[in-house]
Amino acid sequence: MAYIDIISEADASGSLAELYKRFGNPDGTVDNVLKVHSLNPESLDAHCALYVQSMHRPSPLSRAERELVGVVVSMINGCAYCQQHHASGLRRLLPKDREPLVDKLLTQNIELLTDREQAMVAYAEHLTRAPDSIEADHVQGLRHAGLSDREILDLAQVVAYFNYANRIVLGLGAEIESGEGPIGQWPESK
């Protein structure tokens, strides 16, 4: 389940129980990526706040674009947990005729991506692999692909969030387990 002790849903009390209820799945389970924070409820709350801001709050980037970037960053980092969760979420967000994109993406074939999506993926890969080498030309390339500065800001935040989440998952050994809840689920407005 994890390399560190975690507090189960049944054993949670006080602020942790409230956070589990707020950010858990409708069936009462809580994903392990969140339960690894259980020894520090404030950390769980902060993680969820960043996730919700990056992935669910209004943005000129579509939800599908944000999930696409999450899948790519998770693949680069070797985080199967986040890759599985967010590939499932991406499938649900895409129109039926674009669903094959997910399988192609998972095999690192980007031929079905639009020029805009390819630019976003290239930036996400560069920022993930070599963040210290990002220069103004990289951002200008995103502008040439049609992204506004607000979209570029939101893109950088999504990339940064997934690099953070991947390191929490990989560094603490969170795994997808049976009974964890539907893969790729996202919280309802609460």
Total residue count of the chain as it appears in this document: 190
d(CA 159, CA 80): 16
Give mean pLDDT, residues 64-89: 95
Per DSSP, which regions of the chain are E strands? Answer: none
The pLDDT, as a whole number, for residue 83 is 94
Number of domains in the chain: 2
8 A C-beta contact, residue 6 and residue 38: yes
Tokens of 164: 């953070």
Considering the domain architecture, whether residues 74 and 101 belong to the same structural domain is answered as yes
Per DSSP, which regions of 2-96 are E strands? Answer: none
d(CA 58, CA 52): 10
Considering the domain architecture, whether residues 125 and 81 belong to the same structural domain is answered as yes
Considering the domain architecture, whether residues 116 and 42 belong to the same structural domain is answered as no
Tens of pLDDT, residues 8-34: 999 999 999 999 999 998 989 999 999
8 A C-beta contact, residue 157 and residue 53: yes
State the average pLDDT for the chain.
Answer: 92
d(CA 2, CA 185): 20
What DSSP character marks residue 135?
-
Considering the domain architecture, whether residues 166 and 83 belong to the same structural domain is answered as yes
The pLDDT, as a whole number, for residue 184 is 46
Give mean pLDDT, residues 161-176: 97
Considering the domain architecture, whether residues 49 and 84 belong to the same structural domain is answered as no
Give the torsion sign (CA, 52, 180, 173, 70).
negative
Does residue 3 have a pLDDT over 70? yes
The pLDDT, as a whole number, for residue 104 is 84
CA neighbor of 57 nearest in space, from 184, 150, 180, 164:
150
The pLDDT, as a whole number, for residue 99 is 86
b/e per residue 18-36 (b: at least 16 CB within 10 A):
ebbeebbbeeebbbbbbbb
Considering the domain architecture, whether residues 38 and 74 belong to the same structural domain is answered as no
List CB contacts of 147: < 8 A, sequence separation 6 or more.
Answer: 116, 119, 120, 155
Considering the domain architecture, whether residues 48 and 130 belong to the same structural domain is answered as no
The pLDDT, as a whole number, for residue 189 is 45
CA neighbor of 57 nearest in space, from 170, 163, 180, 189:
189
Does residue 173 have a pLDDT over 80? yes
Tens of pLDDT, residues 87-144: 999 999 999 999 888 988 888 878 889 999 999 999 999 999 999 999 999 999 999 9
CA neighbor of 48 nearest in space, from 63, 38, 61:
38
Tens of pLDDT, residues 73-82: 999 999 999 9
* Widest CA span in the chain: 52
Could you list the residue range(s) of the whole structural domain that residue 119 is in?
Answer: 63-170
Considering the domain architecture, whether residues 118 and 166 belong to the same structural domain is answered as yes
